[in-house]
Amino acid sequence: MFCCRSEEYKEQNRINKEIEKQLKRDKKDARREFKLLLLGTGESGKSTFIKQMRIIHGAGYSDEERRTFIKLVYQNIYMAMFTMIRAMESLRIAYENPANQAHAEAIREVDYESVTTMDPQHVVAIKSLWEDPGITECYDRRREYQLTDSAK
């Protein structure tokens, strides 16, 4: 009945064997994997925990991944300062240095979600704002508004 198998049948059989081998390898690899469900409220450190585990026990991060983190750090800086500037108004806290009002306006005009670099003028503005006692008071009252833990 099967004395003369066709080339097509032989090819299908070869592909089937390759698939079976791959399934066995995948099953073996899956037995060595740990799956972990992290639960927690926002800003509770779930992502930080995973990143630290990857640094300590894994291969770390590639240069490309590090470059994407730079962008995220810049965005977080702008977002945190933007949040504190808004909170200054709602908490009715004044800037001690009058020039910081203009710095605050410059930072408010930035679309922090699309930031990829830090403009040197904004670096000066953010440093000046951060050193202002009004911002310090606002930061100390961060429990009265939502500020990310990474703000400092």
Check if the beta carbon of residue 85 is closer than 8 Å to that of residue 112. no
Provide the CA 63 distance to its chain's centre, in angstroms: 15
The span from the CA of 135 to the CA of 52, in Å, is 30
> Letter for the amino acid at 96?
E
Residue 48 annotated as lining a ligand binding site: yes
Residue 109 annotated as lining a ligand binding site: no
Residue 46 annotated as lining a ligand binding site: yes
Residue 128 annotated as lining a ligand binding site: no
Burial class (CB in 10 A: 0-12, 13-18, 19+), 11: exposed
Closest CA to 152 of 80, 85, 69, 100: 80
Residue 132 annotated as lining a ligand binding site: no
> Letter for the amino acid at 136?
T
The span from the CA of 93 to the CA of 95, in Å, is 7
Residue 43 annotated as lining a ligand binding site: yes
Residue 44 annotated as lining a ligand binding site: yes
**What residue numbers does the annotated binding site cover?**
43-48, 149-150
**What residue numbers does the annotated binding site for Mg(2+) cover?**
47
**What residue numbers does the annotated binding site for GTP cover?**
43-48, 149-150
